[in-house]
Amino acid sequence: MRDITLGKTGITVPQNAFGALPIQRVSVDEAVSLLRNAYDGGMRFFDTARAYTDSEEKVGKAFEGMRDKVFISSKTQATTKEKFEEDLNTTLTNLKTDYLDIYQLHCAAKCYNEEDDIYNCLVEAKKQGKVRHIGITAHKIGVAEDIVNSGLYETLQFPFSYLASDRDIALVKSCTEHDMGFIAMKGLSGGLLTDSKACMAFMSQYDVLPIWGIQKQNELDEWLSFFDNEVTLTEEIQAVIEKDRDELLGEFCRGCGYCMPCTVDIRINQCARMSQMIRRAPSENWLTDYWKEEMLKIDSCVECGLCKTRCPYELDIPNLLKKNLKDYKEILAGKPV
């Protein structure tokens, strides 16, 4: 397993890290077991956020008494000094620690700089020792490019998978040139990519630290297997990647959920990508009465546009929903999946 150093932070860990968003969906005992098994299996970097409900508390319980053995990053969506301080103190309490290895501004709408209070809050927290390194996360490529060029942050967290564009790959290389750590989120593109070996092989080509969203032990086992069986980009794996790129590139929903809640209760983060999911997972899972009812809610869309304003990928969500519903109805009528 290759080691990755996150730029000027000096943090060096195996290129195989734990994304702790999904553990908010499991019990405390299950989450703690997963996190400790991840550590025992070789993972050393764990990423969470204030926005992930009780994820921080579960990470804190898992690593209490062994804080110096792991690297923990968290995030805040705060935009004011007061909220920043509240979030940071809550996070430190939840994680049972007096410092964070990396503290990140979460889903930034722009590159915050010295003229912004929220950036200065990060700098001050680092001076106080509550934060060892400062980072930022973004979903929009233009914002991410501004962040790298600013030289103000030590790490960037950005979506990166083998569906990446040339511009995304150039962003990764720019981070390396600026001695900036790149934390790769959404390495499975919101669940659309299902071949873990292909995902890992792709990442191994770049100076990035992928954080895999893990919710179940069998998922963790897949990622831990690469510590003993290192994968590289073979012709066979490249063929898998090219097939997926042919099928998936273009306008697609990553399922992040930032668009929600919907004003008429549509499950946007699943319904807007139903055409892909129904073809990439056992189709019967998406043809239940429950999902039929959820998909038919799309007919009640009032096109208020609120989801479009929230989408970090600037998707035309109302039209995307309609396309998916049309396809879904045709499948129900007998069209082959």
pLDDT category at 336 given cuts 50, 70, 90 is confident
* 281 pLDDT above the threshold of 80: no
Q: Mind giving me the DSSP string for 137-186?
A: E-SSHHHHHHHHHHT--SEEEEE-STT--HHHHHHHHHHHHTTBEEEEE-
Peptide bond into 261 cis (omega under 30): yes
* 282 pLDDT above the threshold of 90: no
Helix (H) or strand (E) holding 27: none
Output the pLDDT for position 257: 86
Output the pLDDT for position 279: 84
pLDDT category at 192 given cuts 50, 70, 90 is confident
- Give percent of the chain with pLDDT exceeding 70: 100
Output the pLDDT for position 283: 84
Output the pLDDT for position 247: 85
Dist CA 27 CA 151 (whole Å): 40
* 263 pLDDT above the threshold of 80: yes
Question: b or e along 175-208 (b: 16 or more beta carbons within 10 Å of the residue's beta carbon)?
Answer: beebebbbbbbbbbbbbbbebbbbbbbbbbebbb
- CA angle 32–33–34, rounded 5-degree value: 90
Q: What average pLDDT does the segment 316-328 reach?
A: 94
Dist CA 105 CA 122 (whole Å): 9
- Give percent of the chain with pLDDT exceeding 90: 88
pLDDT category at 20 given cuts 50, 70, 90 is very high
209-213 vs 17-19, strand pairing mode: parallel
Output the pLDDT for position 248: 86
135: three-class secondary structure by DSSP: strand
Amino acid identity of 310? R
Amino acid identity of 311? C
pLDDT category at 27 given cuts 50, 70, 90 is very high
Residue with more model confidence, 233 or 254: 233
Q: What average pLDDT does the segment 280-300 reach?
A: 91
* 176 pLDDT above the threshold of 80: yes
pLDDT category at 277 given cuts 50, 70, 90 is confident
| Single pTM value for the model | 0.90
Phi/psi region, residue 322 (left: phi>0; alpha: psi -120 to 50; beta: rest), is: alpha
Picking from 142, 147, 133, 151, the residue whose alpha carbon sits closest to that of residue 74 is 133
Give the chain's mean pLDDT.
95
Output the pLDDT for position 102: 98
Dist CA 88 CA 46 (whole Å): 17
- How distant, in Å, are the alpha carbons of 6, 111, 115, 121 from that of 126? 17, 18, 17, 9
Counting Cα atoms < 13 Å in the Cβ hemisphere of 239 gives 3
Under 8 Å between Cβ of 220 and 31: no
Question: b or e along 23-42 (b: 16 or more beta carbons within 10 Å of the residue's beta carbon)?
Answer: bbebeeeebbebbebbbebe
Output the pLDDT for position 312: 84
pLDDT category at 10 given cuts 50, 70, 90 is very high
pLDDT in tens, 80-119: 999 999 999 999 999 999 999 999 999 999 999 999 999 9
* 314 pLDDT above the threshold of 90: no
Structure tokens at 181: 């750590």
Most distant pair of Cα atoms in the chain: their distance: 63
For the chain, list the domains and their CATH numbers: 3-232 (3.20.20.100), 268-332 (no CATH)
Under 8 Å between Cβ of 88 and 62: no
Dist CA 272 CA 254 (whole Å): 9
pLDDT in tens, 123-143: 999 999 999 999 999 999 999
